[in-house]
Amino acid sequence: MLLRGHCLCGACTFELDGPPRFVCHCHCESCRRATAAPFTTWIGQPDGHWRFTGTPPTCRESSPGTRRGSCPVCGSPMFYESDRYPGERHFYAALLDNPGAVTPTLHFHAAEHLPWIALNDGLPQH
């Protein structure tokens, strides 16, 4: 399985190879604010199974032990990584060339979901 994706302007490109550790919707306030969206869908990819193939993203520490990457050209958010989850990087499913190639299997931080988002898809909620 090889998945490709890119930022809004196309400068930052990436590839994910092999199966992801998880695909989930995250409803935490931090993810909402980082993306200006009601929730984010993540692909958790093990280290060694992802690579940047275009302009490397810039990286900043968004909170202690947490780093977020973005395109230095257009500013699109590209990834999340945290000391809490060693050995993996989380990529935005919406950046894939074919986002339909992955299927979320759970809602993470479901207790923080916005009241106007209906979590009635039958997926487990953590």
Burial of 76 (0-12, 13-18, 19+ CB in 10 A): buried
Q: Where are the domains of the chain?
A: 2-112
Enter the tokens of residue 57.
Answer: 């993203």
Q: What is the DSSP letter of 116?
A: T
Q: What's 2-112's CATH class?
A: mainly beta
Mean pLDDT calculated for residue range 105-125: 97
CA 2 to chain centre: 16
**Tens digit of each residue's pLDDT (9 = 90 or more) over 11-65:** 999 999 999 999 999 999 999 999 999 999 999 999 999 999 999 999 999 999 9
Q: Is the pTM of this model over 0.75?
A: yes
Enter the tokens of residue 81.
Answer: 């990584």
Mean pLDDT calculated for residue range 85-105: 98
